[in-house]
Structure 1
Amino acid sequence: MTKTVLVTGASGFIGSHLVKRCLRDGARVKALVRKGNACIPSLRSSGVEVVEGDVRDAEAVDVAVRGCDLVLHAAALTSDWGPMQDFININVGGTRAICESALRHGVGRLVHVSSFECFDHHLLGRIDEETPYMTRKQSYPDTKIGGTNEVWSAMKRGLSASILYPVWVYGPGDRTLFPLLADTIRKRQMFYWSRNAPMSMIYIDNLVDLAMLAASRPEAEAEAFMACDGEAITFEEVCRRVAVAIGSPPPSLHLPFGLVRAVAGAMEVAWRIAGSEKRPLLTRQAVDVLASRALADVSKARKTLGWRSEVPQDEGIRRTLEWLVTVEPSQWKVK
């Protein structure tokens, strides 16, 4: 029997790769995509049933979820800037709507893509699935916690679900990490505020592998898993490799963390007073996440699900940089 899978966030980086994997595996794929999204024609041409709607629209969510055996919930507002209510409505309210429909229609498994931002990672040396969540009055981390708690609550009412906590997700096609680093390095705007900070990353194919294991393995039910390749690299080394690839001098300026975070806070205040929709050059959330020193322990995923990072970090970075230099530099900064 062919499995029917709903992917939310199918127009995004993670969601689009989940769609491709499900199609490759022979599943019937549905995608909940906002009306007018440019990816709709290509999704339909690849055989995906597109439900035009928004996770904030409970009726559209219900139409999308109905008849599905599996829901891969990757839709989220992932910026570090924007109205708090939008984050609440999408990351919390949208996840609640997905869970309610999944319960109503007897979905066999929900895989929720959460985030390592649920944890106070920049002040900890190690995080795993038992590390307590930590709200910090920041839009994305706090609402990812809220959305993830909606999944835990639905599990108590009988929903079969699994939760993933990815670190920085990268790979060809990503519009968040490598392109934004390349843009700031090219413009000579990049500097450091935490020396030799470990950079926790996961290559997109490795994350998709983990998601599919969480979707299919009985051992994954009612469990959560850290998602990280687990290979050592510093933020400085990532920036150096990006700089070499784009032919720019690597950043060398180091400033105190406290000073940079204070400046970021002042910029946020100024931007809000001005009513700017564009994000400041720095936000406190960005400063915190790029100063993280936490090692994400993935031993649970390896032991419980037999997961491995099939694409080594060096290879993943090489593939990503090869793609990056084919992109017009004016298109690197899209957020």
Structure 2
Amino acid sequence: MGRFLVSGGFPLKRGHRLVRAREAIMILVTGGSGHLGANLVRRLLADGHEIRVLIRPTKRHGRALAGLSVQRAVGDLRDPDAVDAAVKGCERVYHCAARISTTARNHREIHAVNVLGTRNVLQAAGRHGVRRVVATGSFSATGTTPGGPSTERDLFCPGDNDTPYTRSKVQMEHECYKAAAQGLEVVIAVSTAIIGPHDYGPSRMGRVLLDQAQGRLLAYIPGGFEFVSVSDLVQGHLLAMEHGRSGHKYLLSTEFRTVDQMMELYTQVTGQPVPRLRMPAGAMAALARLADGPRALLAPGREARFTPAAVRFLRSERRADISLSREVLHYRPTDIAAAVEEAYRCFVERGLVERRRATIPTARTKGQGVCGR
């Protein structure tokens, strides 16, 4: 059974029009110490809501939740009783937690957390009369359109190269659709590759930026992907909560960038040169296979930067059509360059990398840090 550790109420802030108050409601965020969750929690607090986060008892949360006035429900998504206790008394739920992986390892744990954990959240939400749930989906679980961008209507087609994570996110969507059919208000907000501040994991994209900033990124591969600023992703989740249609999903991206374009952007921000070695994708795929699977020859026991699935995603250069999010949610993405700048500034403020050059302040970060409470 989960337990609550209450760290105090949300303090009144002078001049903040949405503080406390009649508009304030109790909201549960699962995965509050993850990249999306840490930013979402801060936004919801700034909007004056009371926040409860479901956190695992063994997870180190560090700066992700430090100093934040949130209720902490300690428990595991796989424990129905802990989830039930966390959901009870909440009016809305953002289900952001997931076991993220691009390897073929730990498939049972991935399924248990992402599929059964989601079922536990949705069933508890139904029992306790939660007004609405927004669940975070993955772009990898969306189908493809030959010769065109992917849309929410494209059904996922199983294949030989599917990862346990991708399969679990497809099944997670099915759990949401079943719950919606049974009367629960639930919307899926689909994330692409996230970049931005408050990345305490750090995430895969955050690790690549750190490697570049520290001069440790020796090679990269050509390709491209849809990237989303974490602030855009947070805004998309809030819009899905307010305007999304129950039983529907919405793709959220800021813009498509090639890997070459991202490397140039990283160079502009960090001052480090683009890695000299631009590896052929086929060669990188072969190396990635040696680092993956139960008989990994390279870096056994930990997930590599570039797994076979990650290489396939980059080589596919998949595009996302976000017109439905624009039309229904009124979603308006910003700029990925600003997100990279904010991510870098946050790493600098946390002492993970030494600032090597003066960077141009963005409108969001000028005159202030980006990694505070």
When normalised by structure 2's length, the TM-score is: 0.78
Which of 252, 257, 263 aligns to 1:239? It is 263
Equivalent in the alignment of 2:220:
191
Distance 1:314 1:273 in 2: 36
Match of 2:3 in 1: none
Q: SS at 1:226's partner residue?
A: strand
Q: Tell me the CA shift for residue 220 of structure 1.
A: 2.8
Alignment match, 2:153: 130
- Corresponding residue of 1:282: 306
Give 1:129's aligned amino acid.
E
**Per residue, is there more helix in 1 or in 2?**
1
**In structure 2, C-alpha distance between the alignment counterparts of 1:250 and 1:79, rounded to whole Å:** 27
Match of 1:148 among 154, 173, 180: 173
Given the alignment of the two structures, is residue 91 of structure 1 paired with residue 114 of structure 2, yes or no?
A: yes
**Gapped regions of structure 1 (runs ≥ 5):** 331-335
Residue identity opposite 1:74 in structure 2: C
User: Is residue 212 of structure 1 aligned with residue 238 of structure 2?
Assistant: yes
Counterpart residue identity of residue 180, structure 1: R
Among residues 126, 136, 139, which one is paired with 1:113 in the alignment? 136
- Kept in 2: contact 1:213–1:305 (CA 8 A): yes
Residues 261 and 119 of structure 1: CA distance in aligned 2, closer, same or farther (over 3 Å): farther
Change (3 A) 1:50 1:165: same
Match of 1:128, SS? coil
Residue equivalent to 1:24: 46
TM-score scaled by length of structure 1: 0.87
Q: Per the alignment, do residues 322 and 48 of structure 1 end up closer, same or farther by CA in structure 2, a change over 3 Å counting?
A: closer
Q: How many residues align?
A: 324
Matched AA of 1:146: Q
Q: Is the 8 A contact 1:33 1:40 kept in 2?
A: no
Identity of aligned residues (%): 26
2:165 and 2:30 map into 1 onto residues whose CA distance is 18
Aligned to 2:19: none
Q: Distance in 2 between matches of 1:95 and 1:316?
A: 29
Shift of 1:228: 0.6
Shift of 1:245: 3.4
CA distance in 2, matches of 1:312, 1:42: 24
**Aligned residues of 1:240 and 1:251 also touching (Cα < 8 A):** no
Across the aligned residues of Structure 1 and Structure 2, the Cα RMSD in angstroms comes to 2.7
Corresponding residue of 1:104: 127
Give the aligned residue type for 2:218: Q
CA-CA distance at 1:124 after TM superposition = 6.1
Q: Distance in 2 between matches of 1:308 and 1:96?
A: 31
CA-to-aligned-CA distance 1:211-258 (integer Å, 9 cap, x gap)? 1111122x532221000113x532111112223433433124344434
Structure 2 residues not aligned, in runs of 5+: 1-21, 355-373
Matched, 1:72 2:97: no
Q: Displacement, 1:99?
A: 1.0
